[in-house]
Amino acid sequence: MELKEEYIKLDQLLKACDIVGSGGHAKIIILDGEVSVNGEVVIQRGKKIRSGDTVKVGDYEIIVE
């Protein structure tokens, strides 16, 4: 995914990439520890994701440019 701003919040990224259908679903999978950023599990749904970060959710991998 290519960023148009300096960063995107993790829950917004998951919605933008159609990994989840709603912010509520994003919150649940993030708090359940199902999401990692750059190889580390993240439980902050407002985590700022920047260019160069890699987000993994299950079989999905998002490389942010």
42-52 pLDDT tens trace: 999 999 999 99
CA 33-37-43 angle, 5° bins: 35
pTM for the complete prediction? Answer: 0.92
Count of structural domains, the chain: 1
Q: pLDDT, tens digit, for every residue of 24-46?
A: 999 999 999 999 999 999 999 99
Query: For the domain that residue 28 is a member of, what is the CATH number?
Result: 3.10.290.10
User: DSSP string spanning 14-63?
Assistant: HHHTTS-SSHHHHHHHHHTT-EEETTEE---TTPEEETT-EEEETTEEEE
Domain assignment of residue 2, yes or no: no
> Exposure of 46 by Cβ count < 10 A (0-12 exposed, 13-18 middle, 19+ buried)?
exposed
What is the domain range of residue 12? 7-63
pLDDT above 90 coverage of the chain, percent: 94
Domain for residue 26, yes or no?
yes
Which tokens is 11 given? 């829950």
